[in-house]
Structure 1
């Protein structure tokens, strides 16, 4: 278990498309170690989620979840989840914009449109099928993390470039809640 460096915007590795985790790798010591490192790294940086490419591993693996999060003080809890080889399906056409940040884009936030409701499927860390229908912040976090698997970072999705800036300045302007 280790806290790994998080790659930052500008690192070409973050723009690569990650590859599927082979079925035989699920439950392996190597995948278990990766999951431990993702958990430790996410916790050390108060993340809501983390994708394997963010720590330099080009596999289709994301983790997410928290009870409370100082970076998102008003967000409801999300169950701790490991999602391997995820597939996302929008449920309906409704989309909403919300403020997002990213451990790979430290100190910055942007207003990002996302599907309001999605279904996500994939495998858990034991290789069991996982399927959930979620909405709101939970859906936003999953979409954000899964974007990393395709080399997409949240600034790529911002439609209004004036709704992008440093967290402290956005909070001072009353656009973001102040972390407690």
Structure 2
């Protein structure tokens, strides 16, 4: 009823064919009930789709050669289904590849974040040590003479440069090891420096 379909009696077939868009035939007749000769006698002003799901077939195969008629039977429907299934499988493979690539990117991002967390903790810890040692050096220098903001700036530049140069290679190694999936390496560094 959704498609405004209607079941008809066999005797009414000739009255309904010209006004139909789709005809589905599924009888148990031992012979063709829609023949080429019958269909050639009907004036068709529009396309009509005939679907034959009977076994044996209800619609003569040569009916498909008549203009404005498209005929499908169980075999052609199977081949359409199979073609669609193959298309879906191909699309599913594409989707799987995309998911795999995105998963790899996500995993890489997670590993980088993990490494960045360890690196950030390492820099924080070293920065605390730098500030403590800077204060000691400034106090010692003040005790032996005049010591101003210019000298403090020089000490800050020196200690910052030392920290960055000392940690540059370990930082690079931590990122590389994280990308290579060496989670135990990050854990060892965290333990070693009590991060």
TM-score range, shorter chain: under 0.3
**TM-score by structure 2 length?**
0.20
When you count strand as a share of all residues, which structure comes out higher? 1
**TM-score by structure 1 length?**
0.21
- More relative contact order, 1 or 2 (CA 8 Å, 6+ apart): 1
Larger gyration radius, structure 1 or structure 2: 2
